[in-house]
Amino acid sequence: MSGQRYKRTNFEDDETVSPGGTTPTGGPFSPVVVLKASSGFWHRRSLLECILFALVIILGVVIISMAVSRSQPTTTTIVKTVVKHQQQNLCTTPVCVSVAASILDSMDRAVDPCKDFYQFSCGGWIKTHPIPPGHSRWGTFGLMTNKNQLVLRHALEKPMLPSSSKAENKTKIYYQSCMDPNNTMETLGAQPLLDLLRKFGGWSVSDRSGQWNSATWRLQDVIEVTHSFGLFTFFSVWVGEDTKIKDTNILQLDQGGLGLARDQYLNKSLETDKVLQAYLTYMTTVGVLLGGEYNDTRQQMMEVMQFEKQLAEITTPQEDRRDDEKLYHKITIGDLQKMAPFIDWLHYLNSLLSVTKYKKLQSSEPILVFAPDFMKNVSALLTTMQQNDSSKNVLNNYVMWHVVKSMCCCLSKPFTQARKVFAQVLTGIKGDEEKWRDCTSDVDNTLGFALGAMFVQQTFHSNSKQKAEKMIVAIKDAFKSNLRTLDWMDPQTKAAALDKADAIIDKIGFPSFILNTTALDERYEDLEVKDNEYFLNNLRDQKYFMKRNLNKLRKKSDKNSWSMTPATVNAYYQPMKNEIVFPAGILQSPFYDQQYPQSLKFGSMGVVMGHELTHAFDDQGREYDKYGTLRRWWTNSSIENFNKRTQCIVDQYSSYKIGKDNIRGKQTLGENIADNGGLKSAYHAYSKWIQGHGDEKPLPGLNYTHRQLFFIAFAQVWCSHNTPEAEHLSILTDPHSPPKFRVIGSLANSRDFSQQFKCKKGDAMYVKDKTCNVW
C-alpha cells in the first residue's frame, strides 16, 4: 500500500484470470545487475578503480563531476593503465568499466561469500540505498520502476496535438485529473463519494437524513448495484477461460470480501493488536469525514470488523488453494442456487450482464465455483443475518465500507491522509512519494496499453526482442537437457514434459495492437475520461473494465492478450496459454543491456527467463498440458516422486525466519520451485555458451571469474530493504519468499555455486549432501 487505491494490479487487460490458481505466475520479479553508484564511491575505492572511472570520463561515456580530496591520476598514468589492462586481457570497454564499478559498490567484500552470500553481494547496496519516502520496501525493482516512470511522465506531460490518437489524449487527461492542478478534489471534498453512497441506497453512518431504511433494504439490491461497478463484497464474479475446455470463456466465482489479510483477524484481539486498532481508527476517521458522529461511527465500524472476522474464519487460506484440479467445480446456476440460496443468482447474474448484448441467462448456464465450501458457509451466515434489522444494518455498513475504502483515496487530502496513517501501521511506510509518480502508476493501471504505446516508442528497440528470444532459446535448451537426465520421472511423463517445454510461447516487449492507432482507440472507445473529474474517471474505469470483461462470455479467448502493460518491470507465466511474457519495461538497461558480459546477462535476465519457464512445471503449472488445458497428464509414479521432492522444498523454506515469522513454505512453493529451476537452467545455459565462445575477458577491479560473477549478478537482483511491517505482511500474503531467501534458498541447492566459490564443510553456504532439487 503506497498511496494508490486498490486497482487491477497486473491485470488491466482482457486476461482476467482465476484467483483459484490460474493467475499468471511470477511477479513481482525484477532482475537487475545493480548499476547505480553511491555517493560515497570514491572514499572506498582503490587507486585502480579511480583510474578506471577516470578512463570512462576521458572516453566521454560516463560524466562524473565530484570533488576528490586526493590528487587525480595524470593522463599519462591513465594511458599506461589502459595499456597494462589490455596486456592483461581485461575488458576495458566503457560498459565493462561502469558495470564492474557498480557491482563492487553494491558488495560487502568484508563478508565471506561462503558464510552469507546475500550480504556479500548486497551489503554495499543496502548501506547506500535507504527506503525512500512513500515506500515500505525498496530494491532494484523500485529503482527500475522509477526510471521507467520518468519516461512515462515525460510522455504524459507533453501537450496534446491534433495528430495524437484519442487513446493517447485520454491518458493525458486522466493524468491531469489525478494531478489536479486546479485543486478540484479539495473543493469537492467528500461530495462525490456521498453522491455515490446515495445512489447505492445510503449509508447509515454518514446519512443523517434517514435514507437507509432496514424495512425496505434488500441484500440482493445492494450486491447487484455495487458489483455492477466492480466493487465486490462477499465474493467476486468474472468471465474467464474454462481451464478444462480450450478457447471457451465461462462465468467464474470465488471467495472474497476481507479488508485485511485473513490471518490478521484470526486469534487477534482489538485490545492488543495494533493492526486491528489502526484499521478501526481508519474506518472511524473516514466515516466521520463523511458526516458520521464519532462514537456512533466507531461502534458501527467495530461491528463491521467483527463481521469481517467471521468471514475470515470461513475463508480458505491461500496455501490450501494450490491444487487447481481440486479447486475446479463446474456447476450450473441452478446448482449454485441450491448450494448458496442467500440471493437469487439468476437475477443477480442477469443484472450484471445487462450492460452487454447477451440474452438473459438460464439456470442451466455453467459457472466455475472455486470455493464451494466458502459459498455454503457464507450463505448460511448471511441468511441468518438478514432476519433482523440490526444485522441488516451491519451487512449494509460492511458493503458500504468496502465501497468507501475502494474510492476514498480519489478524494481530498483528509481522506488520503487517513489512509496513509493506516498504511504506516500496516506496512511501516513513511512520508509521501511525489504525486506525479502516484499518478503515473494510476494511468498505467487504467490506460496502460495506451501509455505503453508511448513508452515503447521511446525506449524499446527491435533488436532487443531478437536478443531476448535468442537467450530464451538457450535457457529452454538447458532446461530440456536437464529434464532428460531426471531419474525420478518415468519416460512417458518425461516425453510429454519435453513436448510442453517445446510448446511454450514467448512474448516479448508489447502486444502489436498498441502501435495501431485505430486498434488502440477502439480498445478504449467506451472509457470516458474528463478534465477535473478524477473520482468519476476512476468510477467510469471500474464500469468500463466490468463491461469489457463480461463481454467475453461465450467468446473464444484472445490468444494475443497480455496481462501486464508494456512499461511494467516484471514478467509472468500464463498456464492456460502455456506462454512466458516479458514486457518492454524489464528488457532495458540497466536490467538488460546487450553490451553486458554474458555472465551478467545470464545471471540476471537469464535467471528470470528460467524462472518463468520453470513455472510451467511447478506444483500448479505442471497440472496444465502443452495446450494450456487443465488435465491429468502425469503418471501416478511421477506425481508421487514430484510431491516428495516438492515437500523437501516446503520443509527447507519453512525453516527460514524473518523476525519472529517463519516463511510459509507451502504458500511460496511455486515461486521457490521456479527460483531454483530458473537459476539452474540459466547457469547451465551460460556454461554451454562458454563452451561455444570461450571464456569472457575478466572485468577490471573484480577478482572474480565470470562463473562467480554469474552468481553475484543473480544475488544483486534481490538487493533490497523492507520495513519490519512490510516483511510481516509479505509473510502473510506473498507467494514469494523474502528477497534474501530467494538468494540463500536457491544457492543452498546449487552445487555449481558451492564449487565456484570453493565453499567447505562447515560453511553456512556449503551445499550439503542432501539438497532439494525438483528441476
Return the pLDDT at 464. 79
In this structure, what is the dihedral angle of CA atoms 699, 700, 703, 705, given to the nearest 10 degrees?
10
3-state secondary structure of 644: helix
Give the pLDDT confidence of 82-131 residue by residue, as tens digits.
Answer: 455 554 689 999 999 999 999 999 999 999 999 999 999 999 999 999 99
- What does the block give as the cell for 275? 493492526
Length of the chain, in residues: 775
Residues 115 and 214 in one domain: no
Return all residues near 468 (Cβ < 8 A) that are at least 6 apart.
508, 582, 587, 592, 605, 609
Grade residue 187 by pLDDT with cuts at 50, 70 and 90.
Answer: very high
pTM: 0.88
Secondary structure percentages of the chain, helix, strand, coil, to 5: 55, 5, 40
Return the pLDDT at 54. 46
Residues 402 and 468 in one domain: no
Residues 335 and 201 in one domain: yes
> What is the b/e burial string over 27-63, where b = at least 16 CB atoms within 10 angstroms of the residue's CB?
bbbbbbbbbebeeebbeebeeebbbbbbbbeeeeeee
Residues 480 and 335 in one domain: no
Across all residues in the chain, what is the average pLDDT? Answer: 88
**CB 407 within 8 Å of CB 191:** no
Question: Distance of CA 128 to CAs 47, 108, 131, 660, 745, Å?
Answer: 21, 11, 10, 26, 25
Return the pLDDT at 208. 65
Whether 554 is in a domain gets the answer no
Whether 710 is in a domain gets the answer yes
Residues 355 and 242 in one domain: yes
- Is the pLDDT at 47 greater than 50? The verdict is no
In total, how many domains does the chain have? Answer: 2
**CB 595 within 8 Å of CB 35:** no
Whether 437 is in a domain gets the answer no
Return the pLDDT at 24. 64
What gap in Å lies between CA 522 and CA 548, rounded to an integer? 12
Grade residue 213 by pLDDT with cuts at 50, 70 and 90.
Answer: confident
Mean pLDDT of 147-168: 93
Return the pLDDT at 421. 96
Return the pLDDT at 72. 40
Residues 617 and 690 in one domain: yes
Residues 362 and 501 in one domain: no
Residues 236 and 335 in one domain: yes
Based on the residue annotation, tell me whether 271 is a catalytic residue of this protein.
no
With vertex at residue 258, the alpha carbon angle to CA 253 and CA 259, rounded to the nearest 5 degrees, is 140
Give the pLDDT confidence of 405-434 residue by residue, as tens digits.
Answer: 999 999 999 999 999 999 999 999 999 999
Give the pLDDT confidence of 250-309 residue by residue, as tens digits.
Answer: 999 999 999 999 999 999 999 999 999 999 999 999 999 999 999 999 999 999 999 999
- Within 10 Å of residue 766's Cβ, how many Cβ atoms? 16
Whether 482 is in a domain gets the answer yes
Share of the chain above pLDDT 70, in %: 88
Residues 649 and 733 in one domain: yes
Whether 530 is in a domain gets the answer no
Residues 118 and 219 in one domain: no
- Is the pLDDT at 167 greater than 70? The verdict is yes
Return the pLDDT at 461. 76
Return the pLDDT at 28. 45
Whether 155 is in a domain gets the answer no
Return the pLDDT at 89. 87
Return the pLDDT at 64. 33
Mean pLDDT of 669-674: 98
More confident residue, 13 or 640: 640
Burial of 488 per CB tally in 10 Å (0-12, 13-18, 19+)? middle
More confident residue, 17 or 627: 627
3-state secondary structure of 572: strand
Question: Structural domain of residue 628, as residue ranges?
Answer: 108-128+464-510+574-775
Residues 629 and 487 in one domain: yes
Alpha helices by DSSP H, listed for 138-218, are 140-156, 166-179, 184-188, 191-199
In one letter, which amino acid is 506? Answer: D
The strand pairing partners of 25, in sequence order, are 573
Range with the lowest mean pLDDT among 50-59, 336-345, 463-472?
Answer: 50-59
> Which residue among the candidates 612, 619, 625, 725 is catalytic per the annotation?
612
26: left (phi over 0), alpha (psi -120 to 50) or beta: left
Whether 205 is in a domain gets the answer yes
* Final residue before a domain boundary, out of 410, 427, 456: 410
In one letter, which amino acid is 530? Answer: K
Whether 586 is in a domain gets the answer yes
- Is the pLDDT at 36 greater than 70? The verdict is no
Mean pLDDT of 730-755: 96
Give the domain CATH number at 483.
3.40.390.10
Based on the residue annotation, tell me whether 221 is a catalytic residue of this protein.
no
What gap in Å lies between CA 216 and CA 50, rounded to an integer? 78
- Is the pLDDT at 16 greater than 90? The verdict is no
Give the pLDDT confidence of 556-573 residue by residue, as tens digits.
Answer: 888 889 999 999 999 999
Grade residue 12 by pLDDT with cuts at 50, 70 and 90.
Answer: very low
Give the pLDDT confidence of 436-445 residue by residue, as tens digits.
Answer: 999 999 999 9
> Which residue among the candidates 13, 675, 725, 752 is catalytic per the annotation?
675
* Final residue before a domain boundary, out of 369, 385, 410: 410
Give the domain CATH number at 293.
1.10.1380.10
* Final residue before a domain boundary, out of 394, 410, 426: 410
What gap in Å lies between CA 178 and CA 533, rounded to an integer? 8
Share of the chain above pLDDT 90, in %: 80
- Is the pLDDT at 45 greater than 90? The verdict is no
What gap in Å lies between CA 84 and CA 69, rounded to an integer? 26
Residues 662 and 772 in one domain: yes
